[in-house]
Amino acid sequence: MLHDTPNITHVEFISLLVAGLCFVLAFAFQVAELRRSAQVSDGAAATGFSGVSTVWVMGGAALSAAILIWRGWRFGLWSLPLSDYFDACLLLAILLTGLWTWFRWTRQLKTLAIFLLPMTGLLILVGGILGVAGYRNFNTANPWIALHIGSILIGTVCFAAGCASGLGYLLADRQLRSKKENWPLPSLARLEAFNRHAILLGFPLLTIAAITGIFEALKYPHSMGPDWYWSPKVILTVVAWAVYAPLLHVKLTPSFRGARAAWLSILGFALLLAVYALAGFG
């Protein structure tokens, strides 16, 4: 249930804006890094941009973590300070920076890290909007709700990786068609395989999240209202599940391979972000 009292303090809101700015600057410097590396063969000229983008990403992640720790102290939550959707968006942004770090340290996937930064910034924005709108408490002491939230968070990270590989696939395909390599990207086969593995990891978690969410809605119908199954977040969740389902069988259905699978991965992740935004309001 949303309350009229804002969920975040002025200090937390300003800190959130600074964290979002850190990710925006990191994205700008990484774009500059990729453009410079395409101009030089040894990549030495792009080293400075790489270090600066890393500093900004780590700064944004550290500030996001500091906000969560502060809120844990403010609300007296000495375990995981996950009290509502604002905290969930912040925690998810931190998890995406962890995925960004892994991409950066993986030579074959290094370029894909850039696609995670706009996603992280968007989550910061959504979290800020939900925090200002009001407060909706998570009953994380309930094991079903804890499983529901955990499945959503980890599954979303997997789908973010799939979305990044999908964006990389479309860009790599465009470069091959134009015969002009502006960004160093993995092969189409590697990007498609990585996308498939990410979906294979995320889809069961999304299914668990949907089942536990339905179970809680049936057990406590007053929490979502009698017509909860017609709510936009439920409908979008079902649509996202249906979008990802065909990607599990791309080897058996060639029509869903290549660019079509990439677009479906992007669409599915966009639907999940919409679910996050709508869930905070009802």
- Mean pLDDT highest for which of 27-41, 51-65, 80-94? 51-65
- On the question of pLDDT at 57 being above 90, the answer is yes
Q: Residue 13's pLDDT band (boundaries 50, 70, 90)? A: confident
Across residues 211-224, what is the average pLDDT?
74
Q: Which residue bears the tokens 């997997």? A: 158
Comparison of pLDDT for 45 and 40, the residue scoring more: 40
pLDDT tens per residue, range 100-145 = 999 988 878 888 999 999 999 998 988 888 877 765 666 666 778 8
Handedness of CA 256, 258, 261, 263 (dihedral sign): negative
pLDDT tens per residue, range 156-172 = 999 999 999 999 999 99
C-alpha–C-alpha distance, residues 109 and 111, integer Å: 6
Comparison of pLDDT for 176 and 5, the residue scoring more: 176
- Mean pLDDT highest for which of 8-12, 129-133, 182-186? 8-12
The whole-number pLDDT of residue 162 equals 95
The whole-number pLDDT of residue 4 equals 42
